[in-house]
Amino acid sequence: MTRALAEAGRSALRQAARSRTRPRGMGSDMEMRSIAAEVAGVRRSHDRRVQSEIDHALTIVDDYPAVFEAWEQQRITRDHVDAVVRMGCGLADDIRDDYALQAISICERDIASRVREALRNLAARMGSESFAERHRTATAKRRVWVTHGTDGMSELGATLPTVIAAGIHDRLTAMAQSVKDARATDGSPPADAAPGVAVAGDGAAGAESADADAAAPDERTMDQLRADILGDLLLGGAPVVDPTSGSDAAGPLGAIRAQVQVTLTSETVTGADEAPAELVGAALIDADTARKLAGRARIWNRLFIDPVTRTPVEIDTYRPTAAMKKLLMARDQHCRFPGCRRAAIRCELDHTIDYALGGHTHIFNLAHLCQRHHSMKQFTKWEVRQLGGGVLEWTSPLGRVYREDVPVPSVCFVPDPASPPPGAGRDEPPPF
């Protein structure tokens, strides 16, 4: 599989070298995206993941041929290979082969988890870069990611400089301990507490909340407190990288608020049932959280769902242009490229038939695509057409056809045909 992925990557690079229709540097990226999407369609996996696997396979096969050969001969394992490549990523080309041979010798003596430190030391001895230079290179790869799980929970991860990561954890621990100490002392929560930490407000409502919390001792663990405080700080704080930090002006970064798109039934809103709601593009969330989000929303959109296909067919609004955007966001939910789940609120509306070529700005010629797949549609040979009702048909450069049906909402109320709703025979419109 690694050799096949590497060959797919080489094919993309060859196609990019022959292409003269794109700006320099864009061709190889677009062709790599295209071939990754082609492979992902066959494997029924995400094309971003496949592209990462192709890049890794190219590195193994082309940059570490001796390591790849040792793996094929079963002298070392795939975990060994990954460790060798990861530790040697900063080495210059002229010393990589020597590093690989010594690394193989180390790997043949023990399991992968026990040789990583030896490989790290080997790379450090052979590398021409100082630790400071390697750190600068590694710092450029800092990032944040989220992995959605089950039961309404997800994992948030970050790659940061060690001192920053350690400092964050230490501050969260100190804050969490402060919460526990305050509760142990007088039974009242500190100000500016995290989600789940009651904060006394103004007037009767605040007193009532404080009394209720005093009666219910805080039994959260340190891990739970750290998680609650982290969420509170990230969702409510203003970062110091704000360009207006230190001035009297309102910071634009501090003004940015988290935005999510939630779909829930009217029964869940009113508390008639406890069915989970859908965080579009992510996963299901519990009914209590959904109701809290709904209560804070300034704008509500009422969707009419086809009871047979369970797809949105209409949305209430007075402005046609805004209605079109909202209906398409409700219909698409996420990027409409096969396998992509980027939420529609983070995507772009694309004319299936290019507007410049006569395509109309109409719901039957519009669909949400993330920036990655929007660009790929424009600059590669992937083609798409609408079959009606929001169904898209994608054709890959190799001629494979993928049908992208309208996403079915995970949360949808379907009336029982045997029992019409009260007042169904009246002429006036139903209440919201």
The pLDDT assigned to 310 comes to 67
If you average pLDDT over every residue of the chain, what do you get?
Answer: 78
Structural domain that includes position 90: 2-139
Looking at the structure of the chain, the number of domains it has is 4
> What percent of the chain stands above pLDDT 90?
25
Last residue of a domain, one of 109, 139, 169: 139
The model carries a pTM of 0.53
State whether 121 and 23 are in the same domain. Answer: yes
Please tell me whether residues 104 and 153 are part of one structural domain: no
Is residue 102 one of the residues assigned to a domain?
A: yes
Helix axis angle, 93-107 relative to 65-72, nearest 10°?
30
Are 333 and 426 part of one and the same domain?
Answer: yes
CB 106 within 8 Å of CB 118? yes
Using alpha carbons, select from 128, 59, 6 the residue that is nearest to residue 67: 59
237-272 in b/e form (b: 16+ CB < 10 A) is: eeeeebeeeeeeeebeeeeeeeeebbbbbeebeeee
Predicted pLDDT of residue 371:
92
Note whether 305 and 376 are same-domain residues: yes
Same domain, 317 and 287: no
Distance CA 223, CA 176 (A): 9
Residue 256 maps to a domain: no
Residue 187 and residue 131 share a domain: no
Between the alpha carbon of residue 182 and those of residues 192, 197, 205, 230, 356, the distances in Å are 13, 12, 21, 19, 64
* Whether residue 141 has pLDDT greater than 50: yes
Residue 36 has pLDDT above 60, yes or no: yes
| pLDDT tens-digit series, residues 99-110 | 999 999 999 999
Closest CA to 63 of 88, 26, 28, 80: 88
Residue 212 maps to a domain: no
The Cα–Cα gap between 45 and 79 comes to 22
Grouping H, G, I as helix, E, B as strand and the rest as coil, residue 345 is helix
Whether residue 165 sits in one domain with residue 53? no
The percentage of the chain sitting over the pLDDT mark of 70, rounded to a whole number, equals 72
- Evaluate whether residue 272 is within a structural domain: yes
Q: Does 246 fall in a domain?
A: no
- Both 135 and 40 in one domain: the answer is yes
Query: What's the pLDDT tens digit per position in 304-352?
Result: 566 666 666 655 432 336 778 889 999 999 999 998 989 999 999 898 9
pLDDT digits (tens, 9 = 90+) for 189-215: 544 444 444 333 344 344 444 444 444
Residues 28 and 94 in one domain: yes
Residue 167 vs residue 392, higher pLDDT? 392
Q: Cα dihedral sign for 58, 29, 19, 38?
A: positive
Confidence of residue 392 (pLDDT cuts 50, 70, 90): very high
Residue 253 lies in a domain: no
Count the neighbouring beta carbons within 10 Å of the beta carbon of residue 106. Answer: 19
pLDDT of residue 156: 93
Give alpha helix (H) positions in 93-221.
93-107, 112-126, 131-139, 162-186, 203-215
- 379 and 403 in a single domain? The answer is yes
CA 364 from centre of chain: 27
Same domain, yes or no, for 415 and 335? yes
Q: Looking at the structure, tell me whether residues 146 and 93 fall in a common domain.
A: no
pLDDT at 209: 44
User: Considering only 214-218, 245-249, 273-277, which range has the smallest mean pLDDT?
Assistant: 245-249
pLDDT classification of 165: cutoffs 50, 70, 90: confident
Single residue among 94, 110, 139 that ends a domain in this structure: 139
For the cut 80, the answer to whether the pLDDT of residue 284 exceeds it is: no
Question: In this structure, is residue 347 part of a structural domain?
Answer: yes
Question: Is residue 405 assigned to a domain?
Answer: yes
